[in-house]
């Protein structure tokens, strides 16, 4: 595949149902773009989905929605070029089973409501709102992404009911399971579930239907016997009770949400906390020179598990890739618009010094081979299925509490003579992934490099903006 000379692949930002999202960096200017790659060989039905997704993206322009730059089509691959959100994923800021301070949750919730209000003003329903689809920019502001399930429900003042059952079950409104349904209340419901996750660090139920006792108890007002409701202050609980109403006609509208006293309240740090829920995160921004890091550029998986005694990782094969000049420069959508947007990136950063903020990573004192062996021992102790590839990536497969697939990857990379272990969710619930990461990290405590003063990185503390 041909791209403009001077542009290189960075690390993989994320994965979805149809392919990967990679960072693409211009070596000279430092411009950075997120490139979504959709494999049409594996997913021949995806071209129509991409066409619909990009058509909706072109309609949108809002500071809390990921910006679309364009797409490029090839016989076996579709490329969608999007704004690079360097702050990482929102779910990464949620402490499992704890949540975050109410003032911080309110900040993110306000931005989410602003984005959804804009979408509805354009007649667009997202239909898959969840923390995994909410990214953060360099200033810690929400960017709604992944419009693969989005649809237009209103045009020229005329609204239609929707009948496609889609979304992620714990976040899906009860009427979506029965169909047909109105778009706006369904999206509002998902926002309410996200707020619960932000405040409590867990989801209230697996599905909003009568077969699930947690949801039945919620409808009957007997919910206080279940978490997460015990973790919420009275003000937050009262607000959520008005959003997560079974009948969509009785649910708060976005206008009513914005007028509610919880939404308008000026929460101060430490206010409205239950137990030990007040805490702050320290985000790690990883700055490094091009010669000091080898990026993972592909993620092949071996057809079988590797023998523990024959782990052999070749980090030297992980070099940057540059591409030949295409027929038209605009094929990569290098424009003044993109260049202006990237001026918000820290000017002191080398274009190779960008690694998306993620709290599921740590440095270790061991070499690459020893690190992989320790990881494998952890995975085996948890009865996880794993695969090792030759590029320092271990893919782990298991199931979460709901018995749903959970897949994540441990990417081992060299930085300035030290080894970084970077975990990334591939498939499944972000909160479940974070729970597993915390457990794995505790098992590796003896080899984790302690103290930021010993790290070849700069520490950036996330604060409210």
State how far the Cα of 366 lies from the Cα of 373, in Å rounded to an integer: 10
Q: What are the angstrom distances between the C-alpha of 146 and each of 185, 218, 225?
A: 20, 30, 35
DSSP element (H, E) containing 32: strand 32-39
Q: What are the angstrom distances between the C-alpha of 423 and each of 215, 230, 392?
A: 32, 31, 12
* Contacts of residue 102, Cβ cutoff 8 Å, sequence gap at least 6: 199, 233, 236, 267, 271, 272, 273
Q: How would you label 313-348 residue by residue, b for 16+ Cβ within 10 Å and e otherwise?
A: bebeebebeebeeeeeeeebbbeeebeebbeebeee
Omega of the bond leading into 180 within 30 degrees of 0 (cis): yes
Tokens of 64: 């809390």
* Contacts of residue 27, Cβ cutoff 8 Å, sequence gap at least 6: 6, 7, 8, 322, 351, 352
Q: Which of 45, 92, 97, 128 is catalytic?
A: 128
State how far the Cα of 75 lies from the Cα of 59, in Å rounded to an integer: 26
Q: What are the angstrom distances between the C-alpha of 227 and each of 42, 90, 218, 222?
A: 40, 21, 11, 12
State how far the Cα of 76 lies from the Cα of 39, in Å rounded to an integer: 6
| Closest CA relative to residue 191, chosen from 111, 118, 246, 269 | 111
Question: Is 128 a residue of the active site?
Answer: yes
Q: What are phi and psi of 163, to 5 degrees?
A: -130, 5
Omega of the bond leading into 134 within 30 degrees of 0 (cis): no
Tokens of 256: 């009513």
H-state helical runs in 97-166: 102-121
229: left (phi over 0), alpha (psi -120 to 50) or beta: alpha
Active site residues: 128
């Amino acid at each position: 595949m041909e791209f403009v000379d001077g542009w290189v692949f960075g690390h993989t930002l994320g994965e979805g149902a149809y392919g990967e999202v990679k960072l693409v960096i211009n070596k000279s200017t430092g411009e950075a773009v997120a490139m979504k790659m959709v494999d049409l060989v594996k997913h021949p039905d995806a071209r129509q989905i991409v066409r619909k997704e990009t058509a909706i993206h072109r309609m949108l322009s809002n500071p809390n929605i990921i910006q679309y730059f364009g797409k490029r089509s090839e016989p076996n691959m579709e490329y969608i070029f999007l704004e690079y959100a360097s702050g990482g994923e929102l779910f990464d800021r949620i402490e499992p089973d704890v949540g975050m301070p109410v003032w911080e949750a309110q900040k993110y919730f306000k931005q989410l409501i602003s984005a959804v209000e804009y979408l509805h003003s354009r007649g667009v329903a997202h239909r898959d709102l969840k923390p995994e689809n909410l990214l953060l920019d360099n200033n810690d502001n929400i960017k709604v992404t992944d419009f693969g399930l989005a649809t237009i429900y209103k045009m020229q003042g005329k609204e239609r009911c929707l009948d496609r059952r889609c979304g992620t079950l714990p976040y899906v409104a009860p009427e979506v399971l029965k169909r047909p349904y109105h778009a706006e209340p369904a999206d509002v419901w998902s926002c309410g579930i996200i707020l619960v996750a932000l405040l409590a660090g867990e989801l209230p139920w697996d599905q909003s239907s009568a077969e699930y006792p947690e949801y039945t108890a919620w409808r009957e007002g007997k919910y206080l016997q279940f978490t997460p409701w015990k973790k919420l202050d009275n003000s937050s609980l009262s607000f959520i009770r008005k959003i997560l109403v079974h009948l969509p006609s009785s649910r708060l509208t976005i206008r009513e949400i914005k007028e509610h006293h919880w939404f308008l309240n000026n929460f101060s740090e430490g206010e409205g906390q239950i137990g030990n829920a007040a805490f702050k995160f320290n985000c790690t921004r990883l700055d490094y020179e091009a010669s000091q890091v080898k990026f993972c550029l592909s993620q092949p998986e071996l057809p079988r598990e590797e023998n523990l005694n024959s782990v052999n990782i070749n980090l030297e094969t992980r070099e940057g890739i540059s591409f030949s000049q295409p027929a038209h420069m605009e094929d990569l959508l290098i424009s003044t618009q993109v260049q202006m947007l990237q001026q918000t990136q820290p000017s002191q950063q080398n274009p190779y010094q960008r690694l998306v903020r993620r709290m599921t990573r740590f440095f270790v004192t061991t070499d690459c081979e020893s690190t992989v062996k320790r990881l494998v021992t952890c995975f085996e102790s948890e009865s996880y299925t794993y695969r090792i590839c030759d590029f320092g990536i271990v893919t782990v497969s298991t199931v979460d509490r709901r018995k749903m697939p959970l897949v994540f990857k441990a990417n081992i990379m060299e930085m300035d003579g030290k080894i970084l272990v970077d975990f990334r969710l591939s498939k499944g619930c972000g909160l479940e992934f974070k729970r597993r990461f915390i457990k794995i990290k505790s098992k590796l405590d003896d080899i984790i490099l302690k103290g930021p003063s010993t790290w070849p990185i700069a520490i950036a503390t996330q604060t409210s903006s």
